[in-house]
């Protein structure tokens, strides 16, 4: 399946690498990447990949999917460069936070076949998850092609409403940073109570990773799992009481709401034509 990426950064590299690991050929991929250093990195990692410094007809012709993997502030310029070449493309997939399909369609010259998605950085190791939405003009084959690209980085969850993508950004798009924040705090806490730094990191990482593995293999919900390891009057109960006193759960909810609001604001900010 020929795929063109507009932008050759980390996420594009992850998705291309995942597809190649699953059996695709580097020759199935074309990447428009303006920076020579990054083109050199891609050429070294994926020998045979087709690289272009700018969007030209040859970078797009015959592609089953064109993927926008650029920053939100770069989307309008990138879309306008693609517009003269996009008419025959079955589907355009955008992974830019906040950019709405109506704005992207307008920049592409009223192109209707758009899928929006929000992957996250664990896609770099094939352990990500993407929330996705397809415009009504996207047929089943085009939707499947877009999903195949996203699945190279991990799981894919489809949503019926485009507006859900802002919330997906707040939960899973930004979510890895929340987990890293917990790791950072747990590691520092271990050091503060007298554990040597290397051991503190090892304990923090294994604890978070092990708890996640246990949760994924259990039919119980998180609240039940938490209760199962919390004895009345015990050490865990004391720890959770300290977290509740500081409304840590409420802080996480506020963080997700803030990220969701920022994703919506990015659509307002970068969706303008002026």
pLDDT tens for 94-103 read 999 999 999 9
Please say which residue of 108, 138, 162 terminates a domain. Answer: 162
Q: What angle do CA 151, 97, 268 make, to 5 degrees?
A: 150
Q: How far apart are CA 14 and CA 135, in angstroms?
A: 25
Residue 270, domain member (yes or no)? no
What is the average pLDDT across 133-140? 97
Pairing mode, strands 114-118 and 50-52: unpaired
Q: How far apart are CA 132 and CA 94, in angstroms?
A: 10
Q: Are 108 and 56 contacting, i.e. CB atoms less than 8 angstroms apart?
A: no
Residue 272, domain member (yes or no)? no
**pLDDT at residue 152 tops 90:** yes
Average pLDDT, the chain: 95
> In the prediction, which pLDDT does 101 show?
95
Give the distance from CA 213 to its chain's centroid: 21
- Which of 22, 25, 9 lies closest to 152 in space, CA to CA? 22
Pairing mode, strands 50-52 and 65-68: unpaired
Shared domain for 190 and 110, answered yes or no, is no
Shared domain for 157 and 257, answered yes or no, is no
> In the prediction, which pLDDT does 273 show?
72
Residue 169, domain member (yes or no)? no
Q: Are 113 and 142 contacting, i.e. CB atoms less than 8 angstroms apart?
A: yes
Q: Are 2 and 30 contacting, i.e. CB atoms less than 8 angstroms apart?
A: yes
CATH number at residue 112: 3.40.50.720
> In the prediction, which pLDDT does 274 show?
57
Q: How far apart are CA 132 and CA 95, in angstroms?
A: 9
Shared domain for 81 and 180, answered yes or no, is no
Shared domain for 148 and 179, answered yes or no, is no
pTM of structure = 0.90
Domain membership of residue 210 as a residue range: 175-262
Q: How far apart are CA 84 and CA 56, in angstroms?
A: 9
Q: How far apart are CA 108 and CA 182, in angstroms?
A: 41
Shared domain for 8 and 127, answered yes or no, is yes
Shared domain for 22 and 141, answered yes or no, is yes
**pLDDT at residue 196 tops 60:** yes
Q: Are 169 and 98 contacting, i.e. CB atoms less than 8 angstroms apart?
A: yes
Q: How far apart are CA 107 and CA 83, in angstroms?
A: 7
> In the prediction, which pLDDT does 270 show?
86
pLDDT tens digits for range 18-75 = 999 989 999 999 999 999 999 999 999 999 999 999 999 999 999 999 999 999 999 9
């Amino acid at each position: 399946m020929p795929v063109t990426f507009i932008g050759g950064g980390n996420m594009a590299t992850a998705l291309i690498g995942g597809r190649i690991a699953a059996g695709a050929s580097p020759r199935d991929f074309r990447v428009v990447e303006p920076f020579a250093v990054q083109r050199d990195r891609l050429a070294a990692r994926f020998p045979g990949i087709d690289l272009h410094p700018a969007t030209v007809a040859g970078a797009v012709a015959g592609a089953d999917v064109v993927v926008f993997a650029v920053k939100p502030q770069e989307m309008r310029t990138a879309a306008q460069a693609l517009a003269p070449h996009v008419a025959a493309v079955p589907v355009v997939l955008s992974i830019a936070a906040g950019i709405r399909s109506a704005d992207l369609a307008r920049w592409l010259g009223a192109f209707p076949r758009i899928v929006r998605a929000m992957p996250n950085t664990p896609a770099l190791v094939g352990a990500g998850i993407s929330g996705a939405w397809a415009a009504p003009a996207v047929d089943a084959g085009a939707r499947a092609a877009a999903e195949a690209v996203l699945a190279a980085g991990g799981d894919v969850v489809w949503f019926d409403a485009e507006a859900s993508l802002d919330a997906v950004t707040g939960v899973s798009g930004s979510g890895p940073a929340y987990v890293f924040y917990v790791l950072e705090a747990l590691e520092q806490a271990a050091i503060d109570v007298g554990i040597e730094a290397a051991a503190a990191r090892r304990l923090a990482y294994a604890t978070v990773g092990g708890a996640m593995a246990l949760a994924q293999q259990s039919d119980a919900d998180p609240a039940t799992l938490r209760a199962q390891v919390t004895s009345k009057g015990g050490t865990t109960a004391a720890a959770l009481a300290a977290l509740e006193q500081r409304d840590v759960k409420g802080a996480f909810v506020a963080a997700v709401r803030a990220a969701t609001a920022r994703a919506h604001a990015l659509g307002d900010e970068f969706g303008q034509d002026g």
